[in-house]
Structure 1
Amino acid sequence: MTGRIDPSAEQADRVLDAVPAAVGLWDRQMRNVVANAALRHLLGVDDAHGRTIADLVGTDVFDRERPHLEAALAGERQDYTRTVVDPDGRTRHVHITLTPDVVDGAVTGVVGHVIDVPSEAALDSQRDEALGLLVKTLEFSPVATAVMTTTDRWIDVNRAMCALLGYTTAEMLEMSFASVAHPDDLEVSLAEREALLSGTTSHVESEARLIRRDGSSVWVHRHATIVRAATAAGEDIVIAQVHDITERRSLERALTRQALTDPLTGLGNRRRFMGLVSELAEQDERQVGLIYLDLDDFKRVNDTHGHSVGDELLVAVADRIGSVIGVHDTVCRIGGDEFVVLVRSARTADDLDGQRIRLKTVLSEPYTLTSTATPVRVSVSAGSSWSGDDPAALLRVADEQMYRDKSARPR
């Protein structure tokens, strides 16, 4: 069985002397009972035991500290700061804590605790240094950054932001975010700002366009965060960072076009057409027709004249279709010699059928191609379908009618 080990006075002294803060115990007559090494150094003595505070620091200093000492003897903890000159001649800014020493419910003395604290001037210097570093970091950051009020007025913008938009710093500080937002994206920007101000979110992230000084637009990925004021009298601010993603967006558009475009004719491909059909279903569009076109003699053209002539013929067919259909109609090449036209310009099924017949007539006329001296002719089969409750059925119905049209050809 082990009992509690009580430290010796020598051990207690060693522990206290190892503490970097100045620590001392004073009785009710303000005589020193304990003083560690740090306190003895601060007082400039080798031994403080039994000496009064007035004797150690002088009457003037004691009279200045008396109210705090008396309050501590009355049972009230004291916390305050002082500027003192230590025996080495250094000016030190210290925080003093006086804690009542209570034994059996009675205050028998005061425990003093003194630690060094930065001066106000030092704090100001540290703050100014930190702010200066922040300003330099913002100014030279490669990321376009702006600090704004909650009303979108610029407070500060860095070089990268000015370079991105083509304005000087002075010019931008006279502007607002709304003045450089693309009109088509302004509504979204205002909604994002409202979400920040209302506290719905602490940050927003989106892609949008900004208008540069020369009138061109630039796509950016933007991230904005609201920083609440430290006091009620302060003003909330918004910190926004934007990254130029114009090149990425262009690449994405190019890849999308490539995925949805027939490389030979430049028309939409089958994937593009099926996407349009899906959009019809989502939009519940009913006033629409479809014309399915097939070149009956295309294999003969390839076999007789070669594939280069066949390719040129397909391009010529695509051009003729485009010259006939309306500006709101869409033509896609969905197979080797198969084309479909999504017709929004027709008003009735009869109107659609008239367009189908006109396309057959125009496409069946001879083609003069640069890759062969012989005029090329092909016959065309065409079917159509009008509206209906199922947009996906448009292709099936038009396909069926096209094959009936093909079967009706003289053999």
Structure 2
Amino acid sequence: MSASRADDNGVLRRVLDTVPALIGYWDAGLRNVMANHAYADYFGLRPDEVRGMHVRDVLGPALFSSNREYIDGALRGEHQQFDRTLTDAAGQIRHTQATYIPDVVDGVVAGFVVHVVDVSPRIAAERARDDAVTLFETSMLNAAIGQAVIDASGRWLQVNQAMCELTGYSADELRQLSFRDITHPDDVAAADLHVAQLLDGERTQIESEKRYIRKDGQTVWVQRNAVIVRASGGHSDDIIIAQIQDITRRKNAEAALARQAVTDALTGLGNRHSLMAQIGALAHPRGAGIGLLFLDLDGFKTVNDTYGHVVGDELLVAVAGRITRTIGDLDIACRIGGDEFVVIIFSAASQEEMENHRVELKRAVGGTYDLASLSATITIAASVGSSWSGGGDHRDLLAVADQHMYRDKVDTRRQAVVAQTITPPNLELDDR
């Protein structure tokens, strides 16, 4: 053998021995012709020890029996590739991918090349991925709140049963929709912005409250927590994982508390807090006329003293009803305490028009009331004052209307009579 050929063989041997994969050549009689150093790691045999051995003696009876069908396939000239788990010389379990490549010379299989690669890291990664997927799917399946996976376009990819119950849609129906299809129209723009922020990397997670429209048309409030999961294929392959919790009861309770804060519990009209908030808003220039009516019942204390507060409360509710039916749909009525009511008239164009409203309300409220808690009728009168502003600062309207109401009370005191009709006899009440 020439020196050059010997050098080439030496280089080839060093290359084969440095390759971490197991490489060998076996002749048609299943005896080894060449083996690299990896055989020592796998089977505890040096390459020179392996040379000439039968493949059964290297693999061992059990592994040889498992691989026999692939060996026979290679001897038939068929390329073989298969996965195999084995224990190496150090007792370490290896997950491998084996390839048998037939060596065909003049149409005859002279032997085959063996190439075995340790794929344990890949198998471990795949198992970790599968475990993570199983854990995620189990978590979704058993979660008490809605969970969903959404693609970059906003379409539902995966939803759990809690999400279906929340929205009223089946999983198949949701997968035909995007989140926009079930989002309340007033919340779509904000939802789109949040998705864009996630995809652009401006935010890594979103916490927000929004509304969904259920399949049956009902509106539900939800607390949504969403995170972005990046994909290697680009933004179009990114997904969003969301947890969605029904908070409708909480939102309804908050709305009820907010209403209670500005609502008179007895009559259902606005209360003093509501009135002052409205007047505070009116203090900003609007360029339109605004009027106030201030109403006080004449002799209401006598009603309470004579018949008790149950009758008095029923009378106040009845008065509130007449006020509401008298004013316009856009006007606001408030009970600010006791028997005092204030009405904001948004449609008034002049003080003269406010006077017409004042007379109309005084006439509507004053008169006879049939109350369910009393087997008699009560006749009562009202004093009403008005004020009007053509624009700009409206903060003095309440004080002016209050002054005019007291002027009306003084002017009509002699004629104002609170009367209760009882058959027999008739009892007349005054406001002394």
| Structure-2-length-normalised TM-score | 0.67
| Per-residue deviation, residues 18-46 of structure 1 (Å, max 9, x unmatched) | xxxxxxxxxxxx9xxxxxxxxx998859x
* 1:331 maps to which of 333, 348, 373: 333
SS at match of 1:167: coil
Residue 390 (structure 1) aligned with residue 404 (structure 2)? no
Count of residue correspondences: 325
Residue 400 (structure 1) aligned with residue 414 (structure 2)? no
Counterpart for residue 186 of structure 2 = 184
Q: CA deviation at 1:175?
A: 0.9
Q: CA deviation at 1:125?
A: 2.6
Letter paired with 1:337: D
Residue 226 (structure 1) aligned with residue 224 (structure 2)? no
Contact 2:295 2:405 (8 Å CA) reproduced: yes
Counterpart for residue 302 of structure 2 = 300
Unaligned runs of 5+ in 1: 1-29, 31-39, 46-52, 61-82, 95-115
Q: 1:309 to 1:396 in 2, by over 3 A?
A: same
Counterpart for residue 246 of structure 2 = 244
| Per-residue deviation, residues 143-170 of structure 1 (Å, max 9, x unmatched) | 2011111211111111111111111111
Q: CA deviation at 1:172?
A: 0.9
Cα distance in 2 for residues equivalent to 1:224 and 1:233: 16
Cα distance in 2 for residues equivalent to 1:253 and 1:182: 18
SS at match of 1:366: strand
Instruction: Write out aligned runs for 1:218-367 (5 A).
Output: 218-232=220-234, 235-281=237-283, 284=286, 286-367=288-369
Residue 163 (structure 1) aligned with residue 145 (structure 2)? no
Letter paired with 1:267: L
Q: 1:201 to 1:346 in 2, by over 3 A?
A: same
Cα distance in 2 for residues equivalent to 1:188 and 1:283: 31
Letter paired with 1:397: V
Letter paired with 2:186: D
Instruction: Write out aligned runs for 1:204-223 (5 A).
Output: 204-223=206-225
Cα distance in 1 for residues equivalent to 2:87 and 2:311: 101
**Cα RMSD (Å):** 3.1
Q: CA deviation at 1:394?
A: 1.9
Cα distance in 2 for residues equivalent to 1:59 and 1:399: 118
Q: 1:359 to 1:216 in 2, by over 3 A?
A: same
Letter paired with 1:248: R
**Segment drifting more, 357-366 vs 375-384:** 375-384
Cα distance in 2 for residues equivalent to 1:41 and 1:238: 45
Q: CA deviation at 1:226?
A: 2.0
Contact 2:95 2:123 (8 Å CA) reproduced: no
Contact 2:145 2:246 (8 Å CA) reproduced: no
Counterpart for residue 37 of structure 1 = none
Contact 2:183 2:213 (8 Å CA) reproduced: yes
Q: 1:257 to 1:232 in 2, by over 3 A?
A: closer
Contact 1:43 1:57 (8 Å CA) reproduced: no
Cα distance in 2 for residues equivalent to 1:210 and 1:58: 73
Q: CA deviation at 1:84?
A: 9.0
Q: 1:147 to 1:368 in 2, by over 3 A?
A: same
Identical-pair percentage: 46
SS at match of 1:340: strand
Counterpart for residue 66 of structure 1 = none
Cα distance in 1 for residues equivalent to 2:413 and 2:90: 119
Residue 147 (structure 1) aligned with residue 149 (structure 2)? yes
Cα distance in 2 for residues equivalent to 1:239 and 1:89: 42
Q: 1:253 to 1:89 in 2, by over 3 A?
A: closer
Q: CA deviation at 1:398?
A: 1.2
Counterpart for residue 134 of structure 1 = 136
Q: CA deviation at 1:378?
A: 2.3
Cα distance in 1 for residues equivalent to 2:120 and 2:238: 29
| Structure-1-length-normalised TM-score | 0.70
Q: CA deviation at 1:283?
A: 7.6
Letter paired with 2:401: A
Cα distance in 2 for residues equivalent to 1:292 and 1:330: 12
Cα distance in 2 for residues equivalent to 1:319 and 1:141: 49
SS at match of 1:134: helix
Q: 1:118 to 1:291 in 2, by over 3 A?
A: same
Cα distance in 2 for residues equivalent to 1:153 and 1:397: 60
